[in-house]
Amino acid sequence: MRGLLWGLSKSGVNLQIMRWSKWRHGLLPLNRMQNGRLGVVQRIEGVRSKSPAGAWLVLPEIIYGNRALRVIDHARWRKMRVAAIFHDAIPLSHPDLTRPDAVERHPEFMRALCRTDLVIAVSDSAAEQFRAFAQRNGQRLPPLSVCRLPGELVGEKRCAAKDVNFFGPVRLLCVSTLDPRKNHKTLLEAFELACAAISSPAELHLVGDRYEDAELIVDLVKRAAARNRSVTWHGRATDDQLSEFYRDCDFTVYPSLVEGFGLPIVESLWNRRPCICANFGEMAEIAKDGGCLTCDVRDPLQLSEAMVALATQPALRKKLINEIERREPRTWIDYAVEICEKLRKAS
């Protein structure tokens, strides 16, 4: 959400960031301090909170409980149009990899989105998941569009490509929450195999917060770090810190099993770092345009072989870097402008 708000604020859009007040049963504008926490400066010219008729209310994130319906109904009462950005249906398709409360509440959220005027999915895969849900459950299917997320880190410059002829340890970076579907167990097993096959030192840096109800993953990572000093879990990182991690690494590994989009892959490519990722699902869709080394990330041996290949073959890494340079970079301003264009057309 921060990236979208930043892009909107920089692209000259008439914008007002609102919050739902359960005490007033309505939408209220954020105050200056709340806006400051989001790092955006609002530009409000034509649309005010007291006269929003014809304006768009955009729901950028998941809203669980009956709040989504209340927000949509309130917007309708104020004669606003409603659009929602849809990320994925993973709690429905992979309940075994998702926390129980999300499995229980996600269908209600998706049913609420069926009452909007426009759903903007983050990928073709996410759009197909939403379409299938609506048809399977006899729900109204609103106009459905796709707008892919950018990999730009908000306010951070794009990293320069790293020289493949280097001295010192090979640094691998994995940016991911400690979440069952992110496949950390296989990642750690593969890294152990790779370390045994690489003559030079290798480091695995894990960046990401813990996922709710996933303490087993946290314990797994902590034990691996205690056993192998080459494994470091850094926890949650700011955009500044994340940019530094990308600058320091040689390539990234993102062994996720299922994604609505796969943002860490495009973040890696934005920062000119090759990425190892899955050869299936939405990850393969991102990878097909270059810059990625794909494999079956469910197999520790295949994943370790990909790590060894990028760690020991400078020509392969250089090839992937050249592919990254040929890809069209995409910013949050580009994304915001495309979102606004889709709203304009839907009007």
| pLDDT digits 0-9 by tens, 316-325 | 999 999 999 9
How confident is residue 128, by pLDDT bands cut at 50, 70 and 90? very high
Task: Say yes or no: do domains 2-150+331-346 and 170-326 share a fold.
Answer: yes
pLDDT at residue number 38: 65
SS3 category, 337: helix
CATH of 2-150+331-346, one of 1.25.40, 3.40.50, 2.30.30, 3.10.450: 3.40.50
* Range 20-40 average pLDDT: 71
Looking at this protein, which amino acid is placed at residue 343?
L
Determine contact, residues 306/276, Cβ cutoff 8 Å: yes
How confident is residue 40, by pLDDT bands cut at 50, 70 and 90? low
Q: What are phi and psi of 308, to 5 degrees?
A: -65, -40
Region 170-326: CATH code: 3.40.50.2000
Q: Considering the chain, what is the average pLDDT of its residues? A: 90
Is the per-residue pLDDT at 215 higher than 70? yes
- Domain residue spans in the chain? 2-150+331-346, 170-326
Determine contact, residues 205/171, Cβ cutoff 8 Å: yes
User: What's the distance, Cα to Cα, between the start and end of the chain in Å?
Assistant: 23
Is the per-residue pLDDT at 47 higher than 70? no
Is the per-residue pLDDT at 70 higher than 50? yes
Alpha carbon of 253 to those of 68, 133, 186: distances in Å?
A: 35, 31, 12
User: Token match 């920089």: residue?
Assistant: 10
Report the helix count and the strand count for the chain, using DSSP H and E: 14, 12
| pLDDT digits 0-9 by tens, 278-294 | 999 999 999 999 999 99
Burial class of 32 by CB neighbour count within 10 A (0 to 12, 13 to 18, 19+): exposed
Please give the sequence-ordered ranges of beta strands (E in DSSP) within the chain, or none if there are none: 18-21, 26-29, 56-59, 81-86, 118-121, 144-146, 170-175, 202-207, 231-235, 251-254, 275-278, 292-295
Rounded CA separation 315/321 (Å)? 10
Provide the token pair at 288: 């097909």
Rounded CA separation 208/242 (Å)? 10
Is the per-residue pLDDT at 276 higher than 80? yes
pTM over 0.95: no
In the DSSP assignment, the letter for residue 53 is T
Provide the token pair at 339: 């979102």
